[in-house]
């Protein structure tokens, strides 16, 4: 494994001896259940076979030193410097170091110890593409500190602490899905997570089906304003629907039937946003049985429906995503495809017959490039194991 050799070599050059441990933590992609985590819905992600790898050893000093190979940058901090977000030399922690430092902060909040370490890390999860490079970095450091001390927590607990780090130390308002998938991934399985109870189960994905992710390379940041507006619309829908359905707490509690009966009472835009959430949650309910039965064909149709809903009801697509999805869905071997992640650019995800995956990737790249002029990144991937200590 090339990355592991690379970080081990750099570790030896930097610290004068070989690293004692290696850990990995994957990125993730969500197959179904988009924009429903904050409506208490279900999500269906998989950990992917791209990951952050970290080489580490305990340090004799009291400072933790990290070297981020992909950024060619180094930082040092300790439990004493964590609250002020500074380094050992009192300079401010650079942004990228907030992710590992946030993990230390979250562990210290739990009264868990975070032994000083020397570490070198690198990743093949693309940064900022919506495949959760940030969660993969956080989970890699979770595993590292867990390895160096005597405490051990279940993967879901580690994920919750990593989410807390990202929410409160880094300052990004993400849900639990990213860290959960990176922590709990299972080879060749999708993960069905109930965002209300945090109960989850695995569902096998047939081995002759590939997950193909394609990056439009367009980034129209879902400005936090747009995201917050959609969250607010869902909350308003709940408030209004409670007049007839007093027992509902979130859109999760509204059936499609009840929604159809009451939708007319909602303002237009609120109704569209809420319809997406209600119907998307219903799609994830249907998905479970379809996947258990190995019916990828029908599951793929749910993915296609999800895209239409994100485009027309939730209105988080963009022309490039729509072009890419249209081309993908027309190609041989494609069961289904849709935008994945928050939207307004970023990636699409497709399920494709394994034997057709290469051809699919080439035709998609060619078609997309000739229509938009952009050169897409395409990743043929499969569901992989969650964060783990390798050595
Ligand atoms: P993503 O969708 O990939 O999670 P984010 O904006 O949430 O995008 O997180 C990206 C940030 O995570 C980067 O700007 C960087 O600070 C950190 N990060 C991700 N990958 C690496 C890496 N390989 N090395 C150092 N920092 C990383
Ligand atoms: Mg992220």
What is the CA(133)–ligand 1 centre distance, in A?
Answer: 5
| List of the chain residues with pLDDT < 70 | 222-223
Burial (CB count within 10 angstroms: exposed 0-12, middle 13-18, buried 19+), residue 211? buried
Which residue has its alpha carbon closest to ligand 1 atom 18?
Answer: 134
| pLDDT at residue 29, as a whole number | 98
Q: Which residues line ligand 1 (CB under 6 A)?
A: 52, 68, 70-71, 95-96, 99, 122-123, 127-134, 137
Q: Which pLDDT does position 47 carry in this prediction?
A: 98
Test site for ligand 1: of 29, 69, 137, most ligand atoms within 8 A of the Cβ? 137
**Integer Cα distance of 175 and 33 in angstroms:** 13
> How many angstroms is it from 165 CA to the middle of ligand 2?
12
- From the candidates 178, 208, 215, 268, give the one annotated as an active-site residue: 178
CATH among 3.90.1150.10, 3.30.230.10, 3.40.50.720, 3.40.50.1000 for 2-203+385-389: 3.30.230.10
Catalytic residue list contains 194: no
pLDDT in tens, 77-100: 999 999 999 999 999 999 999 999
Q: Which residue out of 30, 134, 177, 182 has the highest number of ligand 1 atoms within 8 Å of its CB and is therefore the one to mutate?
A: 134
Q: Whose CA is nearest to atom 23 of ligand 1?
A: 123
| Ligand at shortest distance from the CA of 221 | 1
Nearest CA to 207 out of 357, 327, 1, 331 is that of 357
Q: Is residue 288 within 8 Å of residue 33, measured between CB atoms?
A: no
Q: Which atom of ligand 1 is least distant from the CA of 135?
A: 4
Q: What b/e string do you get for 45-76 counting C-beta neighbours within 10 Å, with b at 16 or more?
A: bbbbbbbbbbbbbebeeebbbbbbbeeeeebb
Q: Which atom of ligand 1 is nearest to the CA of 98?
A: 16
Query: In Å, what is the CA distance from 125 to each residue of 43, 120, 259?
Result: 21, 16, 39
How far does residue 265's CA lie from ligand 2's centre (Å)? 37
| Of 124, 68, 121, the residue nearest 379 (C-alpha) | 124
Q: Which of 87, 83, 84 is nearest to 63 (CA)?
A: 87
Read off the pLDDT of residues 215-251 as tens digits, 9 standing for 90 and up: 999 987 766 788 899 999 999 999 999 999 999 999 9
Q: Which ligand 1 atom lies nearest to the CA of residue 96?
A: 16
- Which residues have a Cβ under 8 Å from the Cβ of 149 and sit 6 or more positions away? 112, 113, 114, 115
How far is ligand 2, taken at its centre, from the CA of residue 258, in Å?
Answer: 35
Are 163 and 177 in contact by the 8 Å Cβ rule? The answer is no
Residue among 72, 75, 127 whose CB has most ligand 1 atoms within 8 A, to mutate: 127
Predicted local distance difference test score (pLDDT) of residue 223: 65
Ligand 1, atom 9, lies closest to the CA of 134
Global pTM reads 0.96
Q: How far apart are CA 364 and CA 378, in angstroms?
A: 9
> How many angstroms separate the alpha carbon of residue 126 from the centre of ligand 1?
8
Which ligand is located closest to the Cα atom of residue 72?
Answer: 1
The pLDDT of residue 222: 60
The CA 146 to ligand 1 mean position distance, Å, reads 21
Please tell me the number of the ligand nearest to residue 127's CA.
1
Show Cβ contacts of residue 91 under 8 Å, excluding neighbours closer than 6 positions: none
Tell me, what DSSP letter sits at residue 97?
G
* DSSP secondary structure letters along 285-318: HHHHHHHHTT-HHHHHHHHHHHHHHHHHTS----
How far apart (Å, rounded) are the C-alpha atoms in residues 205 and 218? 29
Pick the ligand that lies closest to the CA of residue 126: 1
Q: By alpha-carbon position, which residue is closest to atom 8 of ligand 1?
A: 128
């Amino acid at each position: 494994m090339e990355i592991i050799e690379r970080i081990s070599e750099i570790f030896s050059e930097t610290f004068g001896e070989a690293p004692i441990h290696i850990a990995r933590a994957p990125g993730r992609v969500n197959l179904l259940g988009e924009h429903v985590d904050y409506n208490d819905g279900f999500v269906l992600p998989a950990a992917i076979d791209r990951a952050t790898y970290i080489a580490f050893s305990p340090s004799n000093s009291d400072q933790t030193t990290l070297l981020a190979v992909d950024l060619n940058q180094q930082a040092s901090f300790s439990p004493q410097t964590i609250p002020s977000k500074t380094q050992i030399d009192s300079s401010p922690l650079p942004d990228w170091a907030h992710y590992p430092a946030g993990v230390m902060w979250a562990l210290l909040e739990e009264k868990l110890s975070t032994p000083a370490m020397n570490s070198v890390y690198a990743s093949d999860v693309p940064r900022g593409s919506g495949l959760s490079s940030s969660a993969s970095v956080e989970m890699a450091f979770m595993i590292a500190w867990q390895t160096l001390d005597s405490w051990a927590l279940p993967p879901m607990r580690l994920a919750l602490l990593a989410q807390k780090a990202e929410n409160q130390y880094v300052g990004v308002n993400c849900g639990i899905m990213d860290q959960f998938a990176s922590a709990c991934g299972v080879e060749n399985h999708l993960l069905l997570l109930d965002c209300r109870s945090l109960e989850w189960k695995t569902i096998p994905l047939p081995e002759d089906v590939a997950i193909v992710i394609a990056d439009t390379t367009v980034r129209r940041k879902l400005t936090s304003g747009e995201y917050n507006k959609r969250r607010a619309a869902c909350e308003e829908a709940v408030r209004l629907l409670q007049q007839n359905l007093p027992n509902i707490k979130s859109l999760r509690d509204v059936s499609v039937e009840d929604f159809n009966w009451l939708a007319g009472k909602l303002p237009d835009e609120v109704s569209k946003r809420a319809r997406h959430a209600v119907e998307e949650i219903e799609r994830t309910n249907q998905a479970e049985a379809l996947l258990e039965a190995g019916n990828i064909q029908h599951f793929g149709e749910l993915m296609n429906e999800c895209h239409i809903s994100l485009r027309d009801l939730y209105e988080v697509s963009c022309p490039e995503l729509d072009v890419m999805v249209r081309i993908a869905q027309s190609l041989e071997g494609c069961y289904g495809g849709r935008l994945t992640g928050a939207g307004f650019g970023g990636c699409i995800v497709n399920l494709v017959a394994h034997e057709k995956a290469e051809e699919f990737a080439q035709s998609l790249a060619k078609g997309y490039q000739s229509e938009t002029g952009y050169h897409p990144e395409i990743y043929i991937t499969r569901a992989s194991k969650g964060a783990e200590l390798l050595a």
